[in-house]
Amino acid sequence: MGDTLRASGMRRATAIASLTPLEELDDDPFLVDSRSQHAMCARWAAEHGYVVTRELLVRGLRPDHSALWDDVEAGLVDLFVAPSRRVLERALASVDEFTAECARRGVRVETAEHAEPAYDAQMKARVHRRLSMPTAGYDGR
């Protein structure tokens, strides 16, 4: 897929979302709702001529972790995108160290900065069902 995308002129992005426990749903539903975080990244990518080829769902990941850099080293990723700085702050152990490493490796990191969804009780219930029943085949709709 990577060669096909490269040949078509599409640039490739890795989307970073925060892995936040379901217990925090009432306090900060967007941080818990990784599906919406990844959708925001995909929207940003499409608007800027990128396609998301990898999605990471992490919490407190070290900036030197191979999960971040394997695809970069293989030439499969052109940039990282996250919904916002606060998502990066939850997803990574150090945003500053990560952005410095991106600069050192010549890989951009962007934040979508689109408006977060406004969560009502029904939306929170859908997120809760999706995350509490992942092995039951429930897809969150």
CATH of the domain at 60: 3.40.50.1390
pLDDT of the residue at 27: 94
Which whole-number Å values give the CA distances from 73 to 48, 62, 69, 137, in the listed order?
Answer: 23, 17, 6, 35
Residue 23 lies in a domain: yes
Task: Evaluate whether 11 touches 50 at the Cβ level (below 8 Å).
Answer: yes
Give the pLDDT confidence of 37-58 residue by residue, as tens digits. Answer: 999 999 999 999 999 999 999 9
pLDDT at 136 over 90: no
Mean pLDDT, all residues of the chain: 90
Where in the sequence is the domain holding 120, given as residue range(s)?
A: 2-136
Average pLDDT over residues 94-115: 96
| Confidence (pTM) | 0.87
Q: How far apart are the C-alpha atoms of 29 and 51, rounded to whole Å?
A: 26
Q: Domain count of the chain?
A: 1
Which whole-number Å values give the CA distances from 28 to 31, 53, 101, 141, in the listed order?
Answer: 6, 27, 29, 20
Residue 141 lies in a domain: no
